[in-house]
């Protein structure tokens, strides 16, 4: 809430293996992380952020304002981003560990959640 007072329309925060949350001033939610065997956490935050931005761009292409998404849509985005961060942690090195869209779909299908 404090950060929103300084002007951003939305705040998205990753807490690494503890999950992530968002607040857009109208709704907020926390999404748990995925449990994986961690090898190297280098690049996990970058992977998480890239996944959030990729999903925002997808919403824009659908004609939606990413800052006006409902709680369920934002939770889906955070699940996707949490998966990206989690998969990144399962390999050593930054570039080799970044998951592809296909990697994320396979991982999320294993958890029963994919959009």
Chain mean pLDDT for the chain: 92
Domain 3-111 has CATH 3.40.1190.20: yes
pTM: 0.91
The three-state secondary structure class of 46 is helix
Q: What is the pLDDT of residues 38-80, one digit of tens each?
A: 999 999 999 999 999 999 999 999 999 999 999 999 999 999 9
Q: Which three-class secondary structure string do you get for 51-69?
A: HHHHHHHHHHHCCCCHHHC
* 64 vs 61: CA distance, rounded Å: 7
User: CA-CA distances (angstroms) from residue 53 to 22, 58, 85?
Assistant: 14, 9, 13
Residue 111: pLDDT band by 50, 70, 90 thresholds? confident
Q: What is the pLDDT of residues 4-43, one digit of tens each?
A: 888 888 999 999 999 999 999 888 999 999 999 999 999 9
Q: Which two tokens stand for residue 70?
A: 């409902």
């Amino acid at each position: 809430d404090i950060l929103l007072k300084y002007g951003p329309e939305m705040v998205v925060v990753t807490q690494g293996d503890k999950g992530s949350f968002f607040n857009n001033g109208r709704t907020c939610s926390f999404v748990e992380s995925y449990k994986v065997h961690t090898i190297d956490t280098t690049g996990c935050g970058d992977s998480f952020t890239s996944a959030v931005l990729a999903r925002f761009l997808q919403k824009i292409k659908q004609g939606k304002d990413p800052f006006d998404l409902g709680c369920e849509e934002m939770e889906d985005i955070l699940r996707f981003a949490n998966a990206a961060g989690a998969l990144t942690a399962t390999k050593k090195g930054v570039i080799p560990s970044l998951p592809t869209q296909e990697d994320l779909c396979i991982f999320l299908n294993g958890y029963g959640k994919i959009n």
